[in-house]
Chains A and B, each alone.
Chain A
């Protein structure tokens, strides 16, 4: 065993000496390899963490949301709809919600205007008051006590006093929120109370009854659409899977490019390398020694690249808030939340990443050597 270890160390010594002969080339190879793993790892870690975060955050979303559809489009929902569902068995509470979109020309950003529910005492707002998300505060340079001017779609300027700024720890869901009182909301959009609400939110006694409640409600309200909490969670699950898949597909091209590069590097066995293998065999190396030496070459490069890539990806996603991925996620949004994700590593993910990077590279290093390694060593004499 001791001599086995000593032997492997010698083989590593030799393979490193060989690699150092083409320092620049091999360093570039290593860097490209590590960067590929870093980018792949960042995407995987980020997607997984945000999926997990979304699931945790949205686990407290309304159990049932009811929208009214007119001609396939979302329309305002009337008080009569609210009355119709309020008394269905199992519904603990039903309320009409008011929220809408607003494009702010001053900051060229979209805000979500929203009225806090009446039972939210901490966020009870009087007319002329507002609470804004941290993203809006950044876009407008607003702070607690300052005034927010919004030019309503009806052409009327609204002056709102910023009562407070929503906790920046919740930015992932609140960055673009502008909370206003119901009176202000209706005046802002010129929406009289007869026209009802944006949608309805239902709380139920027992989450097992959701399907039954929807069934009953859909009989009463055939033109309504019901969105359950489970649908919301599923939406986010699929969005981030899709994004991950899409980015991975884009990266697939770069992986293939790298694979070609690696294969070319590894398999393009030059006459010089062939001669070296002949020399090694002639001076007393076995086929197995040559293969082990090449195995170490592949294993050292790919393991080092994999480990550093993964560790850097983790640091990037969780310590530097995935700064390099943000532009991709941001798209054309003006308001983008600042958020840190809860660190999370998934064993299966890491194993997948390892399998698809380390194994092919090691194989590409060893396999071409095979044929050269089993030839008779007397070729060096000729």
Chain B
């Protein structure tokens, strides 16, 4: 009984499908177990507002706190010279208050 090409191919597909299932199982099991508790606690205790992901400029370090004018000083859509600037969107619609006055119909949940 020789091994046929179709056996190899279907075997490979089966293996790949099994590993996808394993990945799904892994995501279900460890995804919920890994709540970022330490970071969340630090955020609560220090009152942090942003992720320390991009540290090269003020508005990338604290995008939620940046002045509305800072990131894109000349025009809201203009590019700036930091690479991250091309990754961070200008705050198109910054919250219910726009930072200044209440917009009607935007109640807190």
A–B contact via C-beta, under 8 angstroms: yes
A residues contacting B by CB (< 8 A) are 9-10, 12-13, 16-17, 20, 53-54, 56-62, 65, 67, 69, 72-74, 97, 101, 109-110, 112, 114, 116-117, 120, 122-123, 133, 135, 166-167, 169-177, 179, 199, 201, 207-211, 214-215, 218, 225-228, 230-232, 234-236, 238-239, 242-243, 246, 300, 303-304, 307-308, 310-311, 314-315, 318, 328-337, 340, 342-345
Residues of B within 8 A of A174 (CB): 39, 42, 48, 52
If the complex has contacts A227-B99, A231-B95, A311-B16, are A120 and B49 also in contact, measured as CB distance less than 8 A?
no
A61–B50 Cα gap in the complex (Å)?
Answer: 8
Whether the Cβ atoms of A332 and B65 lie closer than 8 Å is: no
Whether the Cβ atoms of B95 and A61 lie closer than 8 Å is: no
**11 A-B pairs, CB-CB below 8 angstroms?**
A10-B6, A13-B5, A57-B40, A58-B51, A109-B55, A225-B100, A235-B63, A236-B64, A310-B23, A311-B19, A331-B60
Residues of B within 8 A of A20 (CB): 5
Besides A123-B45, A174-B52, A304-B12, 9 other A-B contacts (C-beta < 8 A): A109-B55, A112-B55, A169-B36, A172-B53, A176-B55, A235-B64, A236-B63, A314-B27, A335-B52
Q: In B33-66, which residues have CB < 8 Å from any A CB? A: 34-58, 60-66
**Could you say which of B24, B48, B52 contacts A345, with CB atoms under 8 Å apart?**
B24
Residues of A within 8 A of B96 (CB): 211, 228, 230-231
Chain B interface SS verdict (over half): loop
Tell me the minimal C-beta distance from A338 to chain B in angstroms. Answer: 11
B residues contacting A by CB (< 8 A) are 4-6, 8-10, 12-13, 16-17, 19-20, 23-24, 26-28, 30-32, 34-58, 60-70, 82-84, 86-89, 91-92, 94-97, 99-102, 106-109
Whether the Cβ atoms of A57 and B65 lie closer than 8 Å is: no
A133–B42 Cα gap in the complex (Å)?
Answer: 11
Tell me the minimal C-beta distance from A291 to chain B in angstroms. Answer: 18
Residues of A within 8 A of B108 (CB): 207-211, 228, 230
Whether the Cβ atoms of A331 and B84 lie closer than 8 Å is: yes
If the complex has contacts A57-B40, A303-B13, A311-B20, are A72 and B67 also in contact, measured as CB distance less than 8 A?
yes
